[in-house]
Amino acid sequence: MEHKSLDYIEQYNDKLGDYCDWMIQLGAECESEIEGYFRVYHIETYPGVGREPKFIGYFPTSMPPEMLAHFASVCQEYYELGKMSTFNLTKPVEWQHL
């Protein structure tokens, strides 16, 4: 199925929705999008938060939904680590020698 077809996008988003709160879109024809890439968005799913999609970045159209879902889980893990006060990714890590 052609990656630019509406059916393909809907099926991709359905599979993606089973694992994470990300979705894909093709750029509008008037936009100067990167050829061969989808626009990827995070959909807010927390109670009391609007469901306005937030742009994450570009991913290749050849990337299967399962791979993008696994990538989303890695991003979630780093997000959770960054929220922990004992492991703050915004500060440089000071290594201690054993």
Alpha-carbon distance of 79 to 6, in angstroms, equals 31
Q: What is the pLDDT at residue 92?
A: 58
**pLDDT per residue over 52-89, tens digit each?**
788 888 888 888 888 999 999 888 888 787 777 555 55
Residue 45 near residue 59, CB atoms below 8 Å: no
Task: Identify each DSSP E strand in 3-65 by its residue range.
Answer: 22-25, 37-42, 54-60
The DSSP 8-state label assigned to residue 26 in this structure reads P
Our measurement of the distance from residue 54's CA atom to the centroid of its chain's CA atoms, rounded to an integer in Å, reads 9
Pinpoint the alpha helices (H) of the chain.
6-17, 65-83
**pLDDT per residue over 13-33, tens digit each?**
999 988 888 999 886 655 555
